[in-house]
A = this chain, B = another copy of it.
Amino acid sequence: MKKVLIANRGEIALRIIRAAKELGIKTVVAHSTADEKSLPVLLADEAICIGPPPSGQSYLNIPNLLSAAIVTGADAIHPGYGFLAENATFAEMCRDHGITFIGPTPENMRALGDKATARKVAREAGVPTVPGTDELASVEEARRAAHEIGYPVILKASAGGGGRGMRLVHTEEELERAVQQAQEEARAAFGNPAVYLEKYIEEPKHIEIQVLGDGENVIHLWERDCSIQRRHQKLLEEAPSTLPWETRKAIAEAAARLARHVGYVSAGTLEFLVDKEGNFYFIEMNTRIQVEHPVTEMITGVDLVQAQFRIAMGERLWIQQEEVEVRGHAIEVRINAEDPEKGFRPSIGKVETLLFPGGPGIRVDSHLYAGYQIPPHYDSLIAKIIAWAPTREEAIRRMERALSETVIEGPGLKTTIPFHQKVLQNAFFRRGAVYTNFVARRMEM
């Protein structure tokens, strides 16, 4: 591999440039016209404009991206996260054009891409999933299933996500009406009234396992706790979790088993819900690098993006499971250009004054520079700050220290820093009592 085309933007484009540079691979950043003056464009060896600001015409424009790789002589494409990262067709087209897609195989993606298939694969691999049904044919079927699973149960839209078409049902009396409502909502939202039913996990932790595979060997790099979410958006992640050792080990091994079952290639993440008793349920797999990958890098010392490159170049896994050593604790906060006091409303603008934290145990991943105009077309993540320390308590204090010295200012620009400061001070958070509805319940946001 001589030259990689980066089919992404923002901090992850920069992250990929850094990995490639350290491996001696040349970089080409494919960018929209809105990102012409972005830091990745500046720091890459080359840059090529692939379309106008709307991502449908640029970062999702497969012909322009492939053409850009071809005309710049790139022999590989790194998709980052989001955009085309989990698009099996794109991965396949790369392969057809003799371009290495840095990520899993199209077959991996298809085996794990949609939730229903992934659940089936999990069951084959002996990994527990949330007990539930397929699409419900009738209220009667729902009643039988709910009885078997045990209340409370939750109804979900087959086509959907993001909370729409969802209904929590506590008793059999509520069920019929709830099914009807969920179907109506699902039809309105997704044009498809199909719903299914699942066991409702109360106050679960969102735990995800990082894996690395070379197609034969798969290792896990332990878990991340991503329970601090708001409307299914992760805001703060940490590793390791505060779960007991046995639970952590059981989940991690289950995840590696599942990934091994599909002959997984590259970096991937398996997401689980964990209830108060330590029961865990596989939900889905993300077949790509994740925003929160740095916390795993901080505690294991393994460079996950470099690992993606090396695996894509055909290298066999160079670390065995026993060699993965966890040291200390790491926390990442996602700094978004959003106003947490106004419902996390996006707050774009120009960054005029910028000061990032430094010193021991602090890592910053950000594409900001003083004078940068945040474009309104893309997501609002502008910086990730990661703090490492020997213990969780010290990592929290270090993160507080780091945020206290961070300055990201510009006219009208708001960030989620004050929100994170509140989370870090929260007594429940400090003792590790986090779960996916923490922000709603403990932060009242």
Contact = CB atoms under 8 A, between A and B. Distances in A.
A397 B24 contact: yes
Tell me the number of copies of this protein. 2
Contacts of A358: 14, 356, 363-366
Nearest to A304: B360
A380 B169 CA distance: 68
Contact of A360 (B23, B355, B363, B404): B363
Nearest to A390: B301
Interface string A365-401: 1100110000000000000000001100010011011
A297 interface: yes
B327 A404 contact: no
Contact of A369 (B14, B21, B355): B355
A5 to B, nearest CB: 19
A364 B400 CA distance: 18
A364 B354 CA distance: 15
A15 interface: yes
A349 to B, nearest CB: 18
A294 interface: yes
Given A370-B370, A401-B22, A359 B363 contact: yes
Interface of A: 14-15, 18, 21-24, 43, 294, 297, 301-303, 305, 325, 327-328, 353-356, 358-366, 369-370, 389-390, 394, 397-398, 400-401, 404-405
Given A14-B358, A43-B404, 19 more contacts: A14-B359, A18-B405, A21-B401, A22-B394, A23-B397, A24-B397, A301-B328, A303-B360, A303-B361, A303-B389, A327-B327, A353-B370, A355-B369, A356-B358, A358-B365, A358-B366, A359-B363, A359-B364, A370-B370
